[in-house]
Structure 1
Amino acid sequence: MSEKLSANEGIKTRSNYLRGTLAEGLQDLSTGSLSEDDQQLLKFHGTYQQDDRDIRAGRRAHKLEKAYSFMIRIRVPGGVTTPIQWQEVDRMADQFANGTIKLTTRQAYQLHGVIKSNLKRTIKEINDTAMDTIAACGDVNRNVMCYPNPYLSSVHAEALKISQDISEHLTPQTRAYHEIWLDGEKVESSEEEVEPIYGKTYLPRKFKIAVAIPPSNDVDICANDLSFIAIVEEGNIVGYNVAVGGGLGMTHGDEKTFPRAANVIGFCKPEQVVDVAEKVVLVQRDYGDRTNRKHARFKYTIEDRGVDWILAELNKYLGYDLEPARDFVFEDNGDRFGWMEDDRGRFHYTMFVQGGRVLDTEAYPMRTGLREIAKIHEGDFRLTANQNLVIADIAPENKAEIEALMETYGIASSHERSALRLSSIACVSLPTCALALAEAERYLPEVIESLEEKLEEVGLRHDAITIRMTGCPNGCGRPFLAEIAFVGRGPGRYNLYLGGGHNGMRLNKLYRQDLSQEDIRKTLDPILEHYAKERNDGEKFGDFVIRKGYVAATEWGGDFHDNIKKEAFASE
């Protein structure tokens, strides 16, 4: 007897290619919510239903419905947008959302706080800007990431084009998106609609793809289901190594769930990339677990069947064999801040954005400053995979005026922070994420500020250490690749992980479980002091804590689950 399929499989099957009753539900303004089935389908269209958890108890006490709103994720393949698109997102943040823009770790925009009556209009206006939200969420390929910093500009354009080609090829073909959000004509036909790549039930779970250009691993290839690593020879991309099976989500207390680092399985030529991407997706479509959503990611398909099996099966789907992988070296997974000039004499400025949240404060009117820059900038706004922003491709004749605006609005000093802060990532977490167990975006700055006192004392202010915080173990902020990571277990309680690779190529290990906020500094201060005094020349923090025995090494390539089973949930 076959196992029962997960509930989401039935929702997709009944949905008529992602339509469900979304159109009818949007018209029902007697509630700020949508039906449970439609909430799942919404994700394929790029939006999540949420509520403000800060005021949930108060509304319950007054017998009021939860304060429902919607998060909209705008898909930006490769993270490159125009100044006009930035201005439009900025306008919609005020007109429809909560007055802020969130830059995500997958190089997308998010708008938070959009109420149901504005949802359709907002998505339509996003499409009017030549961007979209389809497949930004859901059981499909998500936003395709690509190295955004232009200091390797001679090959960046090619890699960006590859990422956009992959994204376009793997975008769902259903007409539902245009019918529901863009008032597209409903085509009446006796033939059933066809979804050529995904089929009627799409993928078992979400799928993430990245394109990286060594020596920068800013897109964290080990965290993605599929990655393409550019192999550059004499200034040209000769092909891409193919890495599969990365994924960081897990569940506290469930040792059958675990983060897994990707495996490099071969090499393909540039003209083969889109075909390889499609066939990897097809393998997961056909063999992924559709009975248990916690076991449905591609990493578990690979873990269950083996890397050799996946490669052999992929080669069957392709009709040719991947070539042996080529050598490559990653140095770090962070951003390069401040000014850069490329070989064309064009300028680029990478600015730090705390937690990826673009907003105005009395002390730092960042959002206003970026709005004013967008009015005169003729290049790009490039979103990085670390929640930061590149004001890119600035013409020499415009540099002085943009520099003046940056000074006026405080942007010019955005990167004059400790290297620890510049290497930080936080997920959104509370108050809007339904999965959050603890604070992240709102709390990590406070943790870093506290740790900076010790960094100053021991002379580590300028030493980059990747630090990440998430409100739960689902991995949205890629915590399990950080040198220091906090993963929420409950209100004010965190698991502390240490020892990730500074280049993003090694998973970290659990060091302390269920730390209170008061415990964080007294736990980390002596380790930071030890690092400052006894590190080897050029030794990174993650390597140091392994060498000194704070945690054991976790080899790249997927053995993290063995350590989880043995150690992660043992009592301290």
Structure 2
Amino acid sequence: MIIPINPNFKTKPEEYSEEEKIKLMTKGLTQDSLGIYNSLSDLTKDDIEKEISQIVKSFGIYLEFNRDKMKFDRVKDWIYMIRVAIPGGGPISSDQWRILDEVANKYTVSNAYTGYPQPSLKLTTRQDVQFHNVKKKDLVNAIRDIVQSKFYTLNGCGDNVRNTISCPISSYYGFDINRLAKKIAEYFRLPSKLYIQVFELDPNISSELENRESFQYSDNLLPRKFKIAIAGIIKINGSYVIDNCVEVRANDIGIVPVIEEGKIEGYQIYVGGSMGENNSYPTFSALALPIGTVSEEELVRVLDAIVRIQQEWGDRKNRHWARLKYLVYKMGVEWIREKVKEYSGIELGEIKDIDLSFKELHLGWIKLGDKWGYGIFIENGRVIDGKNGKVKSMIRYIVDNYYDVKLFITPNQHLIITQIDQREEFEKIFKEFGYGIRDGKAYSKLRINSIACVGFPTCKLSFTDSERFLPSLIDELERRGFSNVSASVGISGCVAQCSRPATHPISWVGSGYELYMLKIGGSNDHIGEPLIDWEENVIYLYQVPSKRLADVTEALLQLYEKNKDLGKDAGEVFRKLGNKKIIEYLKSHEKTRDLMKPHKFDTKIEGYREYHELLKQRINEVIKFKQG
């Protein structure tokens, strides 16, 4: 029997999950009643208690273990990941990058199992910096060193508002979206007293982290993680366009500027986006829905109201149904609008039609005022010296020799260097460090547009490889002649889908060790879904072996090339073809027919069936509140 999606909204304290009870013990992350300081200081063991591992996520720390070593040696080699929150992706000064680079050099030393032969930094889709393979003995010192950069790991992970992301370079076009991201991040920053105490930081930094109007977190924080993104504005051929590089609707709250005659006249709010799923329960990935418009003066009050609604109403019994999307899709757009008015005193304006289909990766040379910027392609966000050139050494050389440059992390895991005067000098630097070339050839269009999360061996949630696998998959697809196809591949090691793979036309989500489920039909403002035959109630290509992903991807790219006139992008082409035709095609293709065996996966199918039913209702509500 299938369990319906039935969240326990406004959960009674006696029904709280164990995770909620643990969070309560810290009184909103203000008291060390669990002994966090003593646990991190105890070097007689390499791990920390389960309860403490949950709490220190809000300090930007994940307890992990080396998945490869576990596979071969059957022992858990405990390691830590540290995540640094950088609102809006920057700016990062030369001095700040040097500090972060040195943290990588000192504390992320690799070993034979990690797959990374040197220290590295990882840039994320949330414009964070991550450090992997940190040992417990180095954990506190690494945090202290990071704080010297004036960036912090607070809010890096955990059940709170995470790093606020935005278009990194809209300020160069006269729209300071980056400043707005910082303002929002500061408002939702967690209390810092316990953070300073646990890591024995300089108490004076409390003046940077506190003494401000801020969101009042409850004693058990939020029911789950909460993500906010702001779309940007850039100029193309003399016209301003909305740049949806953040994939704004994939977030709990999306904020989109409303432009009129070259000025921002307000912001449209979207709520209820999230990629994460759970295989054991009916769940779904969803895009945020528009609920109305606000002025800039009203914006933070409205955001506060939405987060408070989630804090008070979100499911605290079932973590798989605890994200805002379940509240939005179950209760509806009208209910959310009414609650926003109740909590903030602000009545949202009408819903506007805004085109969110344009997404700029911000790569290559960009004219920014009277200077230049250059977007460096960082494959899957891993800043390292490797097959794509000595990228880590190149960036370090630049910040050591060009003090005035500013760096920005993009929401697609790349790095922009701005304030460049000497374009020709930088071209020489790129060439000297081997940037732009892989195996003697320029980076292909397919490689540049594709993306992966970390996956094995460090992420403990992952079922399989992601970051380490995608480059070899692209290598193989390039050998098969698909270097410059106008499509992309997204890949994630698990159903959390941190790399937002389902916003790509072809996406692969880890479903077991070296096994992947296909999601098809995604694009910048649409979400890809499993290949479900709704009449037969089965999923196809749920567990495709890694060695066969190239065959399926090749077949799908061929299908797209044959039908590209059906839509403006590959995702639209696949959506117009529909699952039935795609299934028939793959059953007849010589390279995929043996893989086309139906899989009965009731929880996955029922989750998406309910999503579609709820989506129809919510769309009708959106129409009701639209302009005109």
TM-score (norm 1): 0.89
Counterparts of 2:427 and 2:447 in 1: how far apart (Å)?
A: 23
Kindly indicate whether residue 33 of structure 2 is the aligned counterpart of residue 7 of structure 1.
no
Q: Which shifted more, 359-368 or 265-274?
A: 359-368
Q: Which shifted more, 195-204 or 115-124?
A: 195-204
Counterparts of 2:293 and 2:174 in 1: how far apart (Å)?
A: 18
How many residues end up aligned between the 2 structures? 540
Counterparts of 1:546 and 1:36 in 2: how far apart (Å)?
A: 43
Distance 1:528 1:183, change over 3 A: closer
1:123 maps to: 143
User: Alpha-carbon deviation of 1:419?
Assistant: 1.8
Q: Which shifted more, 317-326 or 35-44?
A: 317-326
User: Alpha-carbon deviation of 1:294?
Assistant: 0.9
Distance 1:452 1:424, change over 3 A: same
User: Alpha-carbon deviation of 1:562?
Assistant: 6.3
List gaps (5 residues or longer) in structure 1: 187-193, 554-559
The residue type paired with residue 225 of structure 1 is D
Kindly indicate whether residue 526 of structure 2 is the aligned counterpart of residue 505 of structure 1.
yes
Kindly indicate whether residue 393 of structure 2 is the aligned counterpart of residue 368 of structure 1.
yes
Secondary structure of 1:240's counterpart equals: strand
- Paired residues for 1:295-334 under 5 Å: 295-334=321-360
Counterpart pick for 2:187 among 151, 158, 169: 169
1:148 maps to: 168
Distance 1:318 1:153, change over 3 A: same
Secondary structure of 1:129's counterpart equals: coil
2:209 maps to: none
Counterparts of 1:196 and 1:144 in 2: how far apart (Å)?
A: 14
The residue type paired with residue 222 of structure 1 is R
2:226 maps to: 207
Secondary structure of 1:548's counterpart equals: helix
Counterparts of 2:77 and 2:221 in 1: how far apart (Å)?
A: 31
Secondary structure of 2:385's counterpart equals: coil
Distance 1:133 1:265, change over 3 A: same
Kindly indicate whether residue 99 of structure 2 is the aligned counterpart of residue 88 of structure 1.
yes
Counterparts of 1:349 and 1:111 in 2: how far apart (Å)?
A: 24
Counterparts of 1:438 and 1:185 in 2: how far apart (Å)?
A: 42
List gaps (5 residues or longer) in structure 2: 1-10, 110-118, 205-212, 233-240, 532-539, 583-603, 613-628
Counterparts of 1:514 and 1:524 in 2: how far apart (Å)?
A: 14
Counterpart pick for 2:517 among 495, 501, 505: 495
| 8 Å contact kept, 1:482–1:504 | no
| 8 Å contact kept, 2:81–2:132 | yes
1:189 maps to: none
Counterpart pick for 1:69 among 79, 86, 90: 79
- Paired residues for 1:118-517 under 5 Å: 118-149=138-169, 153-156=172-175, 158-183=176-201, 197-213=216-232, 214-255=241-282, 257-342=283-368, 344-361=369-386, 364-377=389-402, 378-394=404-420, 396=421, 398-413=422-437, 416-456=442-482, 461-501=483-523, 503-510=524-531, 512-517=541-546
Q: Alpha carbon RMSD of aligned pairs, Å?
A: 2.5
Counterparts of 2:548 and 2:405 in 1: how far apart (Å)?
A: 46
Secondary structure of 1:411's counterpart equals: coil
User: Alpha-carbon deviation of 1:368?
Assistant: 0.5
Counterparts of 2:228 and 2:196 in 1: how far apart (Å)?
A: 25
Residues 238-259 of structure 1 show CA distances to partners (whole Å, capped at 9, x for unaligned) of 211100000111112522x111
Counterparts of 1:491 and 1:436 in 2: how far apart (Å)?
A: 9
Counterparts of 1:317 and 1:363 in 2: how far apart (Å)?
A: 51
The residue type paired with residue 518 of structure 1 is K
| 8 Å contact kept, 1:260–1:561 | no
Secondary structure of 2:302's counterpart equals: helix
Counterparts of 1:497 and 1:242 in 2: how far apart (Å)?
A: 27
User: Alpha-carbon deviation of 1:207?
Assistant: 0.3
User: Alpha-carbon deviation of 1:224?
Assistant: 0.3
Residues 330-349 of structure 1 show CA distances to partners (whole Å, capped at 9, x for unaligned) of 2333503210112x221011
User: Alpha-carbon deviation of 1:563?
Assistant: 7.0
Counterparts of 2:311 and 2:607 in 1: how far apart (Å)?
A: 29
User: Alpha-carbon deviation of 1:153?
Assistant: 2.3
The residue type paired with residue 149 of structure 2 is T
User: Alpha-carbon deviation of 1:298?
Assistant: 0.6
Counterparts of 2:199 and 2:289 in 1: how far apart (Å)?
A: 39
Residues 118-162 of structure 1 show CA distances to partners (whole Å, capped at 9, x for unaligned) of 111111111111100001101100000001245x72244x21111
Identity %: 30
Counterparts of 1:56 and 1:506 in 2: how far apart (Å)?
A: 34
| 8 Å contact kept, 1:499–1:546 | yes
TM-score (norm 2): 0.81
